[in-house]
Structure 1
């Protein structure tokens, strides 16, 4: 029986960036080209459901190790509970001498490591990183940070991939309609967006899709007199998201921390101009003034000014949206990114099928 690549992360039907990434891997054919067995270590739901998913994944993984079926481990990791939940997978791989890839996604991993972990935990985290054969991060900024904490394992900056949708005629988009997708709350800049909208002479319609602080966001919008303009959609599924990306005219993500957000790349792939912040890997996707605008996180005045500029100049928004799609075609489309993952697999002993 040939050995397999065990890939571990959140379930395919789970909310969040990791599930979006691994679904692109699957849909772009990576699972057909390599003998990948996917283990979902996390799922949405209550504590019992989450514990059941983790224990089930551990049991299946251990059985494969004991029967010598695992040739490579590829784990998608974020911060806090995600990191600790994946730790047993790495420790078992080290015990059974299985090469491992740690694929770091956590937008707040710097905060987790530097502010929330003491010296012993930081030493343990470094040991996990250094016990692997390869570390994958989402941007050059993250590569520099990981190397700066004393990680000596080779670190590769490999962008998140997106599937390129069919091009949308700009005239079919709703004029002045804003779109935000993500977990509502301070980290994603949701309240800053509401404050910026309140500064505009005439607030446009803003569609906010995602879970998180939905009630607080709705209350805040009403307090700012924007109860009619700010529409909360809840978590949107793939079909609804595709429709929103094809119909809105400006994508807004004023985050304080990011890895490389899939929603932003998906908006660019759909041909939308982006208004975001220069955090995480975003500056490697969006050049200020080319594919959109970047403003400092928390600068509500600048956010409002750039919104007003894009709303008042549809031709500029259209040009930026076209530039965003071209950037994805050359740099972030699955055909440009997945060969980098496949190269790692080949270096670690797995030729392409």
Structure 2
């Protein structure tokens, strides 16, 4: 049987693509279709990354030469992520294999618009024009991609979430606890969040901030100390899937004040856990969070607005709970893997892939009693 060849970063890495692919696996996609996953990148030094990429292309070439590829599904972001995958698109075209370019990450518009010259822009457009299908994470990204390509098969496919059967009771959450998950840096709004927390009124001096992520950990520690927040900020490091549930169940507000995004898994996971969200209207986020309903949207870099929204939610647990419940309903209506995965699987079949077997979906198992109580 021919295989779906999927290419992307190692699932052991820290980042959005790895999280999405893991949900695909947990939701049963790798059981329902014969998928050969080829890792193109992993955390480590330059030599480790080079070896990984060389092995990836050797594996891809072997599959193509043997005629075993039904289609190629490539997960990519911008900059190095895109250029690592660039030869894969050319090889698939050479061998006549249908190809899905699946765009993740929020920096591609800037990468294309301001960081690439004429030649690189042409190379990017050439790939987009010639793949069989372009998948993006939101309607906003669909509009942007249609502006740079002649390809008429551009589709928005939300990132999927697997939700537990129920959310934790609000009374069991730690009071006034703000959670942020993701790489710590300026682009994610880490330092804006620290400054906003420092500006909260004395009545919220007990509020705590947990930053779960890799990146600029020491810089964040220094910034917290300089703002007088050393005792109120937990730098938890990268939080893996098993520990993540505990953090989401303990917090009272989730914050992601990013400057650009695709459709962040952490926001969807927080909503699935019943948390109100304070974030920014970038990328596909406004399709998940409506200002004043599931949480609040503030402009990137607006520290005073961020402080005000945090203050509103931390001072009013009933409001936070209502918004968290609205977020959970939004996830159940639009973002569960039981809704998203069938669309991807139909696309696979349309492009020539043959299902291997049926398998129970993780959401269905959770709703039959495997979740929290």
Assess same fold via TM > 0.5.
Answer: yes
Whole-angstrom CA distance in 2 between matches of 1:116 and 1:151: 22
Whole-angstrom CA distance in 2 between matches of 1:159 and 1:53: 29
**What secondary structure is seen at the aligned counterpart in 1 of 2:310?**
helix
Matched, 1:193 2:196: no
CA offsets, 1:268-294, max 9 Å, x none?
111110000000000000001111010
Residue 122 of structure 2 corresponds to: 123
Residue 329 of structure 1 corresponds to: 332
**What is the CA-CA distance between 1:150 and the residue it aligns to?**
2.8
Residue 81 of structure 2 corresponds to: 82
Whole-angstrom CA distance in 2 between matches of 1:7 and 1:295: 36
Residue 28 of structure 1 corresponds to: 27
273, 277, 281: which one aligns with 2:280: 277
Whole-angstrom CA distance in 2 between matches of 1:312 and 1:97: 59
**What is the CA-CA distance between 1:351 and the residue it aligns to?**
4.2
What does residue range 47-62 of structure 1 map to in structure 2 within 5 Å?
47-62=46-61
Contact 1:5–1:36 under 8 Å retained in 2? yes
CA offsets, 1:48-97, max 9 Å, x none?
21111111111111011111111100000000000000011111001101
**What is the CA-CA distance between 1:46 and the residue it aligns to?**
1.3
**What is the CA-CA distance between 1:121 and the residue it aligns to?**
0.5
**What secondary structure is seen at the aligned counterpart in 1 of 2:236?**
strand
Whole-angstrom CA distance in 2 between matches of 1:258 and 1:332: 17
**What secondary structure is seen at the aligned counterpart in 2 of 1:149?**
coil
Contact 1:133–1:153 under 8 Å retained in 2? no
**What is the CA-CA distance between 1:173 and the residue it aligns to?**
0.6
Residue 364 of structure 2 corresponds to: none
Whole-angstrom CA distance in 2 between matches of 1:50 and 1:180: 28
Matched, 1:6 2:5: yes
Residue 162 of structure 1 corresponds to: 161
Structure 2 residues not aligned, in runs of 5+:
357-373
Whole-angstrom CA distance in 1 between matches of 2:214 and 2:10: 17
- After TM superposition, the structure 1 stretch with the greater mean CA deviation from structure 2, 201-210 or 12-21, is 201-210
CA offsets, 1:315-336, max 9 Å, x none?
0100111111111111111011
Matched, 1:241 2:241: no
Residue 220 of structure 1 corresponds to: 223
What does residue range 308-323 of structure 1 map to in structure 2 within 5 Å?
308-323=311-326
Matched, 1:93 2:96: no
**What is the CA-CA distance between 1:106 and the residue it aligns to?**
2.1
Residue 355 of structure 2 corresponds to: 352
Whole-angstrom CA distance in 1 between matches of 2:109 and 2:281: 16
Whole-angstrom CA distance in 1 between matches of 2:250 and 2:41: 32
286, 291, 307: which one aligns with 2:289: 286
Which is bigger in relative contact order (C-alpha 8 A, separation at least 6)? Answer: 2
**What is the CA-CA distance between 1:165 and the residue it aligns to?**
2.0
Contact 2:16–2:105 under 8 Å retained in 1? no
Contact 1:160–1:337 under 8 Å retained in 2? yes
262, 269, 276: which one aligns with 1:266: 269
Q: How many matched pairs?
A: 352
Contact 2:136–2:157 under 8 Å retained in 1? yes
Contact 2:3–2:36 under 8 Å retained in 1? yes
**What secondary structure is seen at the aligned counterpart in 2 of 1:234?**
coil
Contact 1:104–1:135 under 8 Å retained in 2? yes
TM-score, with length taken from structure 1 = 0.98
**What secondary structure is seen at the aligned counterpart in 2 of 1:98?**
coil
Whole-angstrom CA distance in 1 between matches of 2:35 and 2:314: 46
Whole-angstrom CA distance in 2 between matches of 1:270 and 1:157: 24
Residue 107 of structure 2 corresponds to: 108
**What is the CA-CA distance between 1:153 and the residue it aligns to?**
3.8
Contact 2:279–2:298 under 8 Å retained in 1? yes
Whole-angstrom CA distance in 1 between matches of 2:150 and 2:325: 39
Contact 1:190–1:254 under 8 Å retained in 2? yes
Matched, 1:209 2:212: yes
Structure 1 residues not aligned, in runs of 5+:
none
Contact 1:291–1:324 under 8 Å retained in 2? yes
Contact 1:132–1:153 under 8 Å retained in 2? no
